[in-house]
Amino acid sequence: MKITWLGHASFRIEIEGAVLLIDPWLEGNPSFPKGKEDAALSGATHILVTHGHGDHASSTLTIAKERGIPILCIHELSEQWSATQGVETIGFGKGGTVTLGKVAVTMVNAVHSSSVDFAGGRPTYAGSEAGYMIAGEGHTIYVSGDTDIMADMDWMGDFYNPDIGILCCGGHYTMGMEGAAYAARRYFDFKTVIPCHYGTFPILAQSAQPLVDALPDVDVRTPAVMEAVEI
């Protein structure tokens, strides 16, 4: 398995022969290096979108159209995009599981908001925000999406038992470093944690070192953008 950070909350996950793009925000992402688009997208089989905000979903339609890749997302956003954008979507809901070959993708709850900007810059309802549990190769990855700490993490950690956590931790719009560390300690038994949603803008935390320090018994990886973490 290879997990490659594409900057901000964007990831490329190579697992069980599938190549999953998680919230692939490339155009306009100040953390993503120009000229690396093909390397980031090569061989991609599916796009997973956690919610409609521009720093997560604004590159999705372009990538899906240019490369013929289906988009997995919440039902309402799926309906919008399939009806108006001419892309293939797989819409489902929280608790639902979609099987992609040998990979099982389950949508789970998050606490945030979700909208997309259409004509005139007006925010339009885009269904509910979500996270994902991705199971394959003997591992389960929890992709938190944008969220605060929530009580649902208790049963999610117990029921899905993810050993890898991709956790937002930049603060202001999501839980911060202390919150992510608290959630990891209290609700999960992660062997590996990869932080995200930090360092992109001045308003966010600029270093994940507080998370590293707070989880001394967890392998907290802080890869450079486009550096693959192999598990």
- pLDDT-based confidence at 206, cuts 50/70/90? very high
The pLDDT score that the predictor gives to residue 162 is: 98
Cα 93 to chain centroid, rounded: 16
- pLDDT-based confidence at 193, cuts 50/70/90? very high
pLDDT tens-digit readout, 52-104? 999 999 999 999 999 999 999 999 999 999 999 999 999 999 999 999 999 99
CB 25 within 8 A of CB 55: yes
Mean pLDDT on 32-42: 96
Mean pLDDT on 156-170: 98
The pLDDT score that the predictor gives to residue 228 is: 96
Q: What is the DSSP string of 91-125?
A: EE-TT-EEEETTEEEEEEE--S--EEE-GGG-EEE
The pLDDT score that the predictor gives to residue 124 is: 85
- pLDDT-based confidence at 37, cuts 50/70/90? very high
The total number of structural domains that make up the chain: 1
Mean pLDDT on 204-225: 98
Tell whether the model's pLDDT for residue 7 goes beyond 90: yes
CATH number at residue 211: 3.60.15.10
- pLDDT-based confidence at 144, cuts 50/70/90? very high
The pLDDT score that the predictor gives to residue 127 is: 87
The dihedral region occupied by 25, where left means phi > 0, alpha psi between -120 and 50, and beta the remainder, is beta
According to DSSP H, which parts of the chain are helical? 37-41, 54-57, 60-67, 75-84, 152-160, 177-187, 209-214
Mean pLDDT on 170-191: 98
CA 124 to CA 98: how far, in whole Å? 26
Report the range of poorest mean pLDDT among 23-32, 39-48, 109-118.
Answer: 109-118
Domain residue limits at 14: 2-230
The pLDDT score that the predictor gives to residue 71 is: 98
Tell whether the model's pLDDT for residue 119 goes beyond 60: no
pLDDT tens-digit readout, 122-135? 788 888 999 999 99
* Mean per-residue pLDDT of the chain: 96
The pLDDT score that the predictor gives to residue 120 is: 64
